[in-house]
Amino acid sequence: MNKNREFGYQAWLQPGPKLDFPGFQPAGEKGFAYDELVRGLHRIGCRDIDTMINLALCEDIGPQAYKITGSIDGITIRGGDERGLLYGVYGFLSRLRRGQTSFDIFDKPAASRRILNHWDNITGRIERGYSGKSLFFKDGQIGYDLERLKDYARLLASIGINEISFNNVNVCSESAKLITDYLPDTKRIAEIFRPFGIKIIVAIHFESPVLMGGLSTADPLDPDVAEWWAKTAANVYKEIPDLAGFVVKADSEFRAGPMSLGRTQADGANLIARAVKPHGGMCYWRCFVYNCMQDWRDTETDRPKAAYDYFYPLDGHFDDNVMLQIKHGPSDFQVREPNSPLLGAMEKTPQMLELQVTQEYTGQQKDLYALAVQWEEIFDHPITDIIATRDLIGDKIDAVVAVANAGDDSNWTGHLLAQANTYAFGRMAWDPSLTALQVIEEWAELTFANYPKAIRPIIEMVLESRGVYEKYNAPLGIGWMVNISHHYGPSVDGYEYMKWGTYHRADTKAIGVDRTTAGTGYTAQYHPYVQAMYENKETCPEEILLYFHRLPYDYKLRSGQTLLQYIYDTHFEGVEDVEGFIATWESLKEDLPEEAYTSVKERLQMQLANAKEWRDVVNSYFYRKTGIADAKGRKIYE
């Protein structure tokens, strides 16, 4: 691989020289931001000395914030701190690349913490990774390409990411040692990312005091356990003083945690929080806690209720350097979910919004899927009648985190266009008021700057992609219906009789689980305004109807279609839409670099096969279950 030549490797930091600008002369504050400016100008082909660009630190602006002022006659970039200056440089370069020449800009991140969690195993395999092997680990130890890791850090910093964890939250006994035996390796990673303003988080194993400390328990109320954590954290901070903190997955999917020891989630989180507190560190505590051994016959237990039930009563019991990491939806990164009722519900506990950039249930970087579109909806989701989730970002929700989608594939994300998701995550965590259209435009203009004819069709295709994927997948928010374990492709009953608490309960007449107060009572976890909206079939947004209501197949949707006919129609349409994507893409053959054209075309063909499989399996499933044919007489396999 000649990295510097490969289109995909450059992502949204494509080289020039295609710009019609004069050159610039950097000046002022020397340091990493300065170096990055020089490098960036060089990259986009502005080499002559014409315009002065002055870099300056200016505390008044505030941390991480920046100002850019001036024009072709002279430009000033001011940063509230070093990170702010760096973001100012990247923000300037990005705007310049997109043709802006006059600046009067103040920008600052909404959320203080914009985090990527890598689910990289120490073996080098990435859990839920669809773009090659780990960038951080190889064969059971830290192992990386230094230049590549710096390039990755630059990509992340350029979109405002300021913290990353690099080991899987499913910590194994080997990766648990990243804070003990392998601490020198962890330190090396921290050093690589530090200049880019990116702090390191380590995912820790809750049972570390037993695994590594020789203690007989990991009980959070045991003084020896607390002491072990305090001593271990002190060691870590001695080597990595700016470590952001620890992230913990506990009491989740067969992992041990405080509950398995008879303690509360607060006991567990505070244990870790107190260990890192003296060093300014955080405890990021995941709320993905539910009964994963449910009996499918049990219709009382309702998995979406779990996180709220476990955590809401503990509000006020968490130390101030605990942040609760809450998945955006109450299920698990499905194509369509309501927001978690826990988001915004707790008055006294800082919260983090957890998204997923890696496309576990959303096409696995074979199928095109614009997460930005979904995230815009998530930010829009009401907390009350007057507050949207977006309004809490930077306030109660001062961190936005996502599971990363990058691996060692030459283009980072497997599907070239999945780079749009990485890009959008950084940008929308920085500024949740950005629309999907805005960030996808930004991304496409940067990535395809040298291929201008392709930009508009690609923007349209990417923006459409979430809706298309949803059409051929599980209908109306019902979720799952995927092949077990690997989560790609359809299996309508795949999880139906399993222990994971994910049931559609389709029979010959109806489908869905009643989650209203007449049913499992899940809706009661929301603010009354939101509850009322979801409670009523008439006011419930139709695209999520089957998340909340059990409905007969002949239920009439607002379009006049029956529920069943809607399922058939959308599944036929989904395939046609993918065929449309392929036609669009083929029309761009001459307008794109060959490598990009070919690799995306291959993925689109895989997506078409997947869409057809979904169409036929879902349609056959419901036809076999209802005996009702498609009103339009299209082919459904018997």
Residues 178-207 that bind its own copies (CB under 8 A): none
Residue with tokens 């082919």: 635
Q: Does 458 bind its own copies (CB under 8 A)?
A: no
Which position among 624, 629, 631, 634 is part of the footprint of its own copies (CB under 8 A)?
624
Q: Does 508 bind its own copies (CB under 8 A)?
A: yes
CA–chain centroid gap for 99, Å, is 29
Instruction: Work out how close the CB of 293 gets to its own copies at its nearest, in angstroms, rounded to a whole number.
Output: 13
Smaller CB distance to its own copies: residue 389 or 502? 502
Q: Does 484 bind its own copies (CB under 8 A)?
A: yes
List for the chain the helix, strand, coil content (%; round to 5): 40, 15, 45
Asked if residue 77 lies in contact with residue 53, where contact means CB atoms within 8 angstroms, the answer is: yes
Q: How many residues bind its own copies (CB under 8 A)?
A: 25
| 341: phi then psi, degrees, rounded to nearest 5 | -70, -15
Smaller CB distance to its own copies: residue 491 or 531? 491
Q: Which stretch binds its own copies (CB under 8 A): 12-20, 51-59, 428-436, 610-618?
A: 610-618
Q: Does 627 bind its own copies (CB under 8 A)?
A: yes
Q: Quick count: other Cβ atoms within 10 Å of Cβ 214?
A: 9
Which position among 43, 125, 505, 527 is part of the footprint of its own copies (CB under 8 A)?
505
Smaller CB distance to its own copies: residue 254 or 637? 637
Report which DSSP code applies to 443: H
Q: Does 616 bind its own copies (CB under 8 A)?
A: yes
Q: What track of x and - describes contact with its own copies for positions 509 through 548 (by CB under 8 A)? A: x---------------------------------------
Torsion of CA 212, 218, 221, 222, to 10 degrees: -50
Residue 360 annotated as catalytic: yes
The Cα–Cα gap between 476 and 464 comes to: 17
Smaller CB distance to its own copies: residue 67 or 487? 487
Q: Which stretch binds its own copies (CB under 8 A): 123-131, 158-166, 449-457, 492-500?
A: 492-500
The Cα–Cα gap between 483 and 494 comes to: 6
Residue 576 annotated as catalytic: no
Give CA angle at 515 (514, 519), nearest 5°: 65
Which position among 438, 491, 561, 584 is part of the footprint of its own copies (CB under 8 A)?
491
Smaller CB distance to its own copies: residue 42 or 612? 612
Smaller CB distance to its own copies: residue 456 or 509? 509
Contacts for 451-458: CB closer than 8 Å, 24+ residues apart: 451/591, 451/592, 451/593, 453/588, 453/591, 454/588, 454/591, 454/592, 457/584, 457/587, 457/588, 458/417, 458/588
Smaller CB distance to its own copies: residue 95 or 625? 625
Instruction: Work out how close the CB of 290 gets to its own copies at its nearest, in angstroms, rounded to a whole number.
Output: 21
Which position among 53, 481, 506, 545 is part of the footprint of its own copies (CB under 8 A)?
506
Asked if residue 57 lies in contact with residue 78, where contact means CB atoms within 8 angstroms, the answer is: yes
The residues pairing with 325 across neighbouring beta strands, listed in sequence order, are 286, 352
Q: Which stretch binds its own copies (CB under 8 A): 38-46, 202-210, 353-361, 483-491?
A: 483-491
Smaller CB distance to its own copies: residue 297 or 558? 297
The Cα–Cα gap between 259 and 419 comes to: 39
Q: Which stretch binds its own copies (CB under 8 A): 401-409, 443-451, 500-508, 591-599?
A: 500-508
> Considering 147, 181, 253, 320, which one is annotated as catalytic?
253
Q: What string of H, E and C letters represents the secondary structure of 185-197?
A: HHHHHHHHHHHHC
Residue 377 annotated as catalytic: no
Asked if residue 172 lies in contact with residue 122, where contact means CB atoms within 8 angstroms, the answer is: yes
How far is residue 258 from each of residues 141, 203, 316, measured CA to CA in Å?
Answer: 29, 16, 18
Smaller CB distance to its own copies: residue 101 or 491? 491
> Considering 360, 409, 470, 577, which one is annotated as catalytic?
360
Instruction: Work out how close the CB of 307 gets to its own copies at its nearest, in angstroms, rounded to a whole number.
Output: 26
> Considering 302, 332, 367, 391, which one is annotated as catalytic?
332
Report which DSSP code applies to 167: S
Residues 265-324 that bind its own copies (CB under 8 A): 296-297
Q: Which helix (H) or strand (E) holds 106?
A: strand 103-107
Q: Which stretch binds its own copies (CB under 8 A): 30-38, 74-82, 250-258, 618-626?
A: 618-626
Instruction: Work out how close the CB of 523 gets to its own copies at its nearest, in angstroms, rounded to a whole number.
Output: 21
- Picking from 374, 413, 333, the residue whose alpha carbon sits closest to that of residue 603 is 413
Written as six digits, the tokens of 77 are 């970039």
The Cα–Cα gap between 462 and 421 comes to: 10
Smaller CB distance to its own copies: residue 14 or 483? 483
Q: Which stretch binds its own copies (CB under 8 A): 249-257, 311-319, 506-514, 516-524?
A: 506-514
Which position among 99, 316, 453, 497 is part of the footprint of its own copies (CB under 8 A)?
497
**DSSP sequence for 362-428:** TTTTTS---HHHHHHHHHHSBSSSS-BHHHHBTTTEEEEEEE----SSTTSSSSGGGHHHHHHHHHH
Q: Does 500 bind its own copies (CB under 8 A)?
A: no
H-helix segments, 240-384: 265-276, 306-311, 371-380
Which position among 96, 474, 596, 617 is part of the footprint of its own copies (CB under 8 A)?
617
Q: Quick count: other Cβ atoms within 10 Å of Cβ 343?
A: 27
Question: Active-site residue numbers?
Answer: 253, 332, 360
Residues that bind its own copies (CB under 8 A): 296-297, 484, 490-493, 497, 505-509, 613, 616-617, 620-621, 623-627, 637-638
